[in-house]
Amino acid sequence: MFAGIELIAVVKANAYGAGAPAFARELDGGGADRFAVVWVAEGTALRAAGVTRPILVLGHSFPEDAPEAVRAGLTLTCHSLELGEALSREAVAQDRPVAVHVKVDTGLHRFGLPIDAAVELATALRSLPGIEVEGLTTHMANADEEDDSFAETQHALFAEAVARLPWIPYRHTANSATALRREPLRYDAVRVGLALHGVLPPNTPGPELRPVLALRARLGRVADVAPGEGVSYGLTWRAAQPSRVGLVPVGYADGWRRNLGNTGSVLLNGHRCPMVGRVCMDQFLVDVTGVAGAAEGSLVTLLGRDGADRITADDVASQAGTISWDILSSLQARLPRLYARGGLVESIA
């Protein structure tokens, strides 16, 4: 799809809930050219997991991070001369050159330097021993909005930075939405996170993607509730008729949002079963009244496909009042992760 352009696989936040070690190892074997995370600690964890390709740290690093970053062979986004000097000292001491990228703040005003300061820093970093100024980058403010005219403003500023720093070889600006929607912003590499999981950002046309992640659980207790009786904390849902409720052992501590209570649903044996009552820390209830075969041990789908029906991260995000990135990256480490290829589970983490 992006011939001649590198793919930087963004695997921050435990690879958006998919489990960074396994997800990155898979792409390290082929598919990704590089990886990106946000913290130095995320990068060193990837190295410990055996990832060998370059790892770019996108976020704000501190001078104290330099020894660890150089030892792990990480590439840092460098925002200050102080950080650059700390990296240079470590690179010399460890006899291991370190690559840095300079980020231009073209309007998001989150991280990076205004263009003049970015040019000045890049020029100063260039003369430090052990430092290679490899990359020039920026980040888009409204890549997936219907009206993204601001992207033109940002692109013009970035193009100016590129023209003033022609000796920096590796330029990148594009997240999933920008990569798919704005070809001129692809430059030398695209930083793709969400789309790697088979989920497209809003307002983003793309190829038909299949979500790589499903969330399933087994029903615990299945019990009758008489008309008028309530379920879960606060008894916010009461049975209007003789009902059966099933216990799903996933809660907000697993990342299943509390505000999905009385709003979301799960799939069970081809039925859509409403979530009833409040979501607890470790469990919630679903109304399985009339669902044939609903019993302890039945498989319920919170995210993913069940027969002809499916629940997507976007569905859950709109019910929870958030975005698909948030739903996926909220899935906590406590949830066991089963990695399958061709329908067969190969490993569990």
Q: Residue 38 or residue 268: which is nearer to ligand PLP going by CB?
A: 38
Helix 115-126 to helix 150-164 angle, to the nearest 10 degrees? 30
| HSE value, Cβ hemisphere, 13 Å, CA-based, for 172 | 25
Q: Alpha helices, DSSP H only, in 196-237? A: none
Site track 64-93 with ligand PLP (rule: CB under 6 A), x = hit: ------------------------------
Q: Which residue is nearest to ligand PLP (CB)?
A: 193
Kindly indicate which of the ranges 79-87, 175-183, 285-293, 305-313 contains the residues binding ligand PLP, using the contact rule CB under 6 A: 175-183
Q: Does 10 bind ligand PLP (CB under 6 A)?
A: yes
- Cβ 241 vs Cβ 227: under 8 Å: yes
State the amino acid at position 282 in one-letter form.
D
- Give the one residue of 44, 61, 106, 176 binding ligand PLP; rule: CB under 6 A: 176
Known catalytic residue at 233: yes
> Nearest to residue 302, comparing CAs of 17, 15, 9?
17
- Cβ 16 vs Cβ 325: under 8 Å: yes
Q: Residue 176 or residue 232: which is nearer to ligand PLP going by CB?
A: 176
DSSP letter, residue 151: H
Q: Residue 210 or residue 341: which is nearer to ligand PLP going by CB?
A: 210
Q: Does 192 bind ligand PLP (CB under 6 A)?
A: yes
Q: Does 55 bind ligand PLP (CB under 6 A)?
A: no
- Per 3-state DSSP, the chain is made up of helix, strand and coil in percentages (nearest 5) of 30, 25, 45
Q: Does 193 bind ligand PLP (CB under 6 A)?
A: yes
Residue 285 tokens, joined? 């209830």
Residue 49 tokens, joined? 């997991």
Q: Residue 58 or residue 276: which is nearer to ligand PLP going by CB?
A: 58
Task: Spot the catalytic one: 103, 170, 233, 339.
Answer: 233
State which of positions 310-329 bind ligand PLP (CB under 6 A).
325
- Cβ 201 vs Cβ 143: under 8 Å: yes
Q: Does 191 bind ligand PLP (CB under 6 A)?
A: yes
| HSE value, Cβ hemisphere, 13 Å, CA-based, for 109 | 1
Kindly indicate which of the ranges 23-31, 39-47, 65-73, 186-194 contains the residues binding ligand PLP, using the contact rule CB under 6 A: 186-194
Q: Does 58 bind ligand PLP (CB under 6 A)?
A: yes
Kindly indicate which of the ranges 169-177, 266-274, 290-298, 332-340 contains the residues binding ligand PLP, using the contact rule CB under 6 A: 169-177
Task: Spot the catalytic one: 12, 16, 103, 187.
Answer: 12
Smallest distance from ligand PLP to CB 154, Å: 13
Three-state SS at 320:
helix
How many whole angstroms separate alpha carbon 180 and alpha carbon 188? 14
**Total of residues contacting ligand PLP (CB under 6 A):** 14
How many whole angstroms separate alpha carbon 226 and alpha carbon 241? 7
Smallest distance from ligand PLP to CB 180, Å: 9
Smallest distance from ligand PLP to CB 179, Å: 7
Q: Which residues contact 339 (CB under 8 A, 6 or more apart)?
A: 19, 22, 26, 345, 346, 347, 348, 349
Largest CA distance in the chain: 77
* Positions marked active-site: 12, 233
Residues near ligand PLP (CB under 6 A) are 10, 12, 58, 139, 175-177, 191-195, 201, 325
